[in-house]
Each structure stands twice: as structure tokens, then as C-alpha cells.
Amino acid sequence: MTSSGKYDVSILTEYDREVKNKEIKTVVGLDFAMNGLFVGSETGKRANYPRFYRQMLDKLAIEQRKLSRKKKGSSNWNKQRIRVAKIQEKAANQRKNFLHHKSKELASDFDAVVIEDLDMKAMSQALKFGRSISDNGWGIFTSFLKYKLKERGKQLVKIDKWFPSTKKCSCCGAKRPMKLSERIYECPCGHVADRDYNSAINIRNEGLRLLSLS
């Protein structure tokens, strides 16, 4: 608002302007990976996620044990509580910075990013997977990715979580059962690929199919 009591139209125009949808030419599929955040369909490479929280687990466990041995409410207890909180905060901030960087990179390089509509809460409750998924931060990552794409007029496409991305051959389309322990997808048609890379390609192809219908 100016001194005359009127709103500055130039400011309103800057923040309220409509973002034009960009023509979709480049599309990437991402397969969620607990040991690397994701595997992309364009190269098959992992995001090289540094497990900040796990790297600090030992240090955090030591400091938490110290905290448990101190009298709750005492001056020493409060100092130790702050020390533990700082370790947790540092890990969270490092993780958030990494997720911002990767989501910005994808939003800059591609017009549409395709992912599976995963139930992360259910996955985090699965046996032995809770800590890995918590450290991974996939939910935060996809939120960052969504708004970074949107502000550029680009799209985040979510495919059904039941889509058989893991079981389907990305070359011929045939399906076969895949055990969790199998890391290489081998199809009778002769196609051989890393399990997650094969899934990422299938996710991208399904996203392209959905985009063609919209």
C-alpha cells in the first residue's frame, strides 16, 4: 500500500500473475529407492542420497544415553537436551538442503516428472524399513518437487501405486514375478537391466500414457 492509501499494482502483478503451462517435451520417471532416494529413467543412476541421520545415529545414541542418566529438569539435563536437539536439527537441515537441491535440479531439467503415488506412512511401518524411509525423506522431496515444477508451469505426474512397474519388462511389456531380493530384471525377450532402472522406465512410460490422455 502506498502513502496515498492505494495498493501498488506492480507488486500485485508480480505475485498474482498466472503461470503459463509449459509444453511437455522432456519427461523423466523416478523409482523410489530406500538406498538412494530415487533412480531416474534417463540414466539409471541413483540420486546418491547421503544418509545424514544414519551417519549421526551413533553420536546421537551416545548423547541420548548421557541425557537419560541425568536428573530430569536439572541444569545439566537441560544442557544435554539442547545438545541432543542440535544434533537432530543439523541432520534435518542437511537433509532438507539436499532435497531442495535435487528437486530444483529435476524441475530445471524436465518438463514433467513421473512418480508412483506411494503410501509412505504404510511403508515406514513395514518391518525393518521405518528408519530407512524416515532418513530418505521421500515425502518432503516430492512436496518440494511439486511446487518447484508448478512455479515453472511444469507437471508432477503420479501414477497408481498398484501399477506393476517392478514386474513389467520395460522392453517388451511382459510381466513376471519379482522377489524383493532380486536386483536384476531378466526377461525371456532378452532384456536385462537393474531392477530399479527397469521400474523407472516403466514409470516414465506410464506417465507419458497418462499425459497423452489429458
Q: Are 103 and 145 in contact (CB under 8 A)?
A: yes
Active site residue 31: yes
Active site annotation includes 196: yes
- Residue 194 a catalytic site member: no
Q: Which of 31, 63, 111, 206 is catalytic?
A: 31
Give how far Cα 80 sits from Cα of 57, 86, 88, 94, Å.
16, 10, 13, 22
> Degrees (nearest 5) of the Cα angle 56, 58, 61?
105
> Residue 130 and residue 52: Cα distance in Å, rounded?
15
Place of cell 541432543: 84
- Of the listed 111, 116, 135, 206, which one is catalytic? 116
The one catalytic residue among 63, 111, 135, 196: 196
| Residue that is written with C-alpha cell 510381466 in the block | 175
**In Å, what is the CA distance from 162 to each residue of 32, 113, 119?**
14, 18, 11
Q: 10 Å Cβ neighbour count for 14? A: 9
Active site residues: 31, 116, 196
